[in-house]
Amino acid sequence: MVYFDTLKAIKKQQLDSVYLLYGTESYLIEDIQHAIIQNGLKQDEQDVNLSVYDLEEFPIQEVVMDAETFPFLGERKILLCKNASLFKAKPDKTQVEHDMSVLQQYLENPVEYSIMVFIAPYEKVDERKKIVKQIKKSGKVVPCQQLKEHEMTNWIYSISKELHINIESPAIDIIIQENGTNLMSIRRELEKMALYVGESGTVDKATAELLSSHNPQASALKLVDAVMNQNVERAILLYKDLEKQNEEPIALLALLASQFRLIQQTKLLQQKGYTQNQMAQQIKAHPFAIKMALKRERGFSNNQLGSITQLLTEADASMKQGKMEKNLSFELLLYRLINVKKKSS
């Protein structure tokens, strides 16, 4: 992946003259941006040799002029150029006019003492554009999109290595299950676990379960498992824990329904011969969420999932119409869902 290769090169002080960071995964953009600053400038140089431009307010001509000006104290300067929509197929309308020929001319022979970093927080840039091709030639174009499942695992291993800890595969599954694809949240969790196990320590499944900050999304998955395993006590215990965290029953019902909906969708698509990647594209869900759903779909028949969907719909109507107290309604729902499984066993 370009992101990993670029980050590795930056940390080895192998810096390019220009970077175009684009995509919707803000953490990856910020990570590379931070690495460029930390490895490109000394701490005491950052106040004077780091410039930030919003390209919705400043024309590219001013940025180029600044890049060509010698740094004040120090050997290098960095220019962060935000909202770089000028690389999109259809640039956003702004109050300033960008003379792209000025940037094109600069990129033919960029100065050695400046690093330009263009930040384009958009799904795509137009890689057919001459200017994007020039950046590829003079520097790096780095996609910062949502990580795929294997990339997520590699990223966690990379962060663990940086934190000087080891991490086991089952622990990674727990961390992703609890945090989803929120990279900032996962980073914080890994830092917390690194403090717990110490340098060269190992984060195993038990440690991950002990230390992970629990969220309702992950708890909804655990409720699904409790239903699948016909474990009433576990289901009620999970719900009581969520109740103590002031989680609203209607919100929890919506999360539970979304998990069962995903399980039902993956089951139907699997029966049609879809691969995991094809399912992710069809459903527009993260591959890891598909993987989790596929693990669970085997525990339910089509008829069971149909009955569960009906019960969830009835509970939603009951709560919203005030027919029954919400907490009591949710507990009763859990009993009914588990009863669906028991009847079919």
Give residue 255's pLDDT: 83
Mean pLDDT for 232-253 is 82
- Report the SS3 class of residue 344: helix
Q: Which residue has the tokens 């050997």?
A: 75
Q: Which helix (H) or strand (E) holds 190?
A: helix 183-197
Give residue 236's pLDDT: 85
94 pLDDT more than 90: no
Query: What percent of the chain lies above the pLDDT cut of 70?
Result: 97
Q: What is the C-alpha separation between 305 and 313, in angstroms, rounded? A: 12
Joined together, the tokens standing for residue 260 give 């069962």
- Cα–Cα distances in Å, from 48 out to 70, 77, 109, 111, 145? 12, 8, 24, 18, 32
What's the burial of 287, exposed, middle or buried (CB within 10 Å: 0-12/13-18/19+)? Answer: buried
Rounded to the nearest 5°, which phi and psi values hold at 59?
-75, 155
Does domain 216-344 match CATH 3.30.2270.10? no
pTM, rounded to two decimals: 0.68
* Residue predicted with more confidence, 86 or 229: 86
For the ranges 102-106, 241-245, 290-294, which has the lowest average pLDDT? Answer: 241-245
Q: What is the C-alpha separation between 120 and 125, in angstroms, rounded? A: 8
Q: Per-residue pLDDT tens for 190-227?
A: 999 999 999 999 999 999 988 887 666 667 777 888 88
Mean pLDDT for 105-125 is 94
Give residue 321's pLDDT: 86
164 pLDDT more than 80: yes
Average pLDDT, the chain: 89
Joined together, the tokens standing for residue 253 give 């019902």
Q: Which amino acid is at 32?
A: I
Q: Which amino acid is at 342?
A: K
Asked if 3 and 142 count as a contact pair (C-beta separation under 8 A), the reply is yes
Q: Which amino acid is at 211?
A: L
Asked if 128 and 122 count as a contact pair (C-beta separation under 8 A), the reply is no
Range list for CATH 1.20.272.10 in the chain = 216-344
Sign (positive or negative) of CA dihedral 276, 215, 191, 207: negative
Superfamily of domain 2-143: P-loop containing nucleotide triphosphate hydrolases (3.40.50.300)
What's the burial of 198, exposed, middle or buried (CB within 10 Å: 0-12/13-18/19+)? Answer: exposed
Q: What is the C-alpha separation between 337 and 345, in angstroms, rounded? A: 13
345 pLDDT more than 60: no
Give residue 66's pLDDT: 95
25 pLDDT more than 60: yes
DSSP string, 211-251: HPPP-HHHHHHHHHHHHHTT-HHHHHHHHHHHHHTT--HHH
| Neighbouring C-beta atoms of residue 135, cutoff 10 Å | 24
Q: Per-residue pLDDT tens for 278-296?
A: 998 898 887 778 888 888 8
Q: Tell which CATH classification among 1.10.569.10, 1.10.8.60, 2.30.30.230, 3.40.50.300 matches the domain 149-211.
A: 1.10.8.60
Q: What is the C-alpha separation between 342 and 227, in angstroms, rounded? A: 10
Q: Per-residue pLDDT tens for 32-48?
A: 999 999 999 988 888 89
| Neighbouring C-beta atoms of residue 340, cutoff 10 Å | 20
Range list for CATH 3.40.50.300 in the chain = 2-143
Range list for CATH 1.10.8.60 in the chain = 149-211
